Amino acid sequence: MKPKKNPNAEIGRNSSLYFMIGLTSVMFVTWQSLEVKFYEKESKAVKVVQLVDELKEDVPMTEAIRTTPPPPPPAAPDVIEIVEDVEDVDETIIESTESSQDTYIEDAMVKIEDVAVEEVEEEVVVPFAIIENVPVFPGCEIYDSQEKRKECFNQKVQEHIRDNFQYPPDALEMHITGRVYVQFVIDSQGRISNIEKRGPDRLLEKEAVRIMSLLPQVKPGQQRGRSVSVRYSIPINFIMQE
């Protein structure tokens, strides 16, 4: 059997239309396949928990024994007894023992004339430079004039410093030198007191005080015929000689 063929039929006339239809169909199917979501079935394990009632131990309940309190005693009625005045009571009057302001006590009065007032003489300290009669150092009695005794006093003090001077070992080791100003008071008894010092180092000051404290007792100075305290000052030089 031979196939029949129409010689007038045009096969490629609608080929582009068929191609577009086929392409559109394929694209639609592809798009739908991408949009479809597939879910896996999860296997859910169900845990079965069996609750078992715990054995409860019967705990005996302790009952509190309540006792009824006794009834309160009946209140006693207030009885007011009126007592008539049988006898008169003498009141005790206490008089004040204080003296009035107008009371004049002669025994407590002290007259001013009966009190002895002791006059305290003010201590006068006179500088050595202006004292009328200078203190007399032992050995200076041979001079009669005040100027000679004053020069002798200064000379004796300087000799005392040279004879008793000891350079402090610590000051020597540290090469400490300087001038210490010393001031002291010769009291009305001729004793050395109130030694004051001012220097560059406490070691030098201590040595200066030690030297002055060794001064002997002198004859006190006098002002207007009576013994007075005299202030005396002198510098001490601490010099290291190599």
The pLDDT of residue 241: 78
Residues facing 198 on adjacent strands = 181
The pLDDT of residue 27: 85
Q: What is the pLDDT of residues 204-236, one digit of tens each?
A: 999 999 999 999 999 999 999 999 999 999 999
Q: Using the Cα atoms of residue 193, residue 197, residue 202 and residue 208 in order, give the sign of their dihedral.
A: negative
Query: Is 229:128 a contact under the CB 8 Å cutoff?
Result: no
DSSP state at residue 216:
P
Maximum distance among all Cα pairs of the chain, rounded to whole angstroms: 192
Q: Two tokens at 80?
A: 């007011």
Q: Across the 242 residues of the chain, what is the mean pLDDT of every consecutive 10-residue run? A: 56 72 84 67 44 42 41 56 49 47 50 54 86 95 94 96 94 93 96 96 96 96 94 94 73
Decide if 40 is inside a domain: no
Decide if 32 is inside a domain: no
Residue entry with tokens 């220097």: 199
Decide if 189 is inside a domain: yes
Q: Two tokens at 229?
A: 């305290």
Decide if 174 is inside a domain: yes
The domain of 168 spans 125-238
Decide if 228 is inside a domain: yes
The pLDDT of residue 121: 63
135, 158, 149: which is closest to 211 by C-alpha? 158
The pLDDT of residue 240: 85
Instruction: Tell the burial category of 209 from Cβ atoms under 10 Å away from its Cβ (0-12, 13-18, 19+).
Output: middle
3-state secondary structure 13-48: CCHHHHHHHHHHHHHHHHHHHHHCCCCCCCCCCCCC
Looking at residue 192, which CATH number applies to its domain?
3.30.1150
Decide if 29 is inside a domain: no
Decide if 153 is inside a domain: yes
The pLDDT of residue 123: 76
Decide if 161 is inside a domain: yes
Structural domains of the chain, count: 1
Amino acid at 188: S
Query: Is 180:236 a contact under the CB 8 Å cutoff?
Result: yes
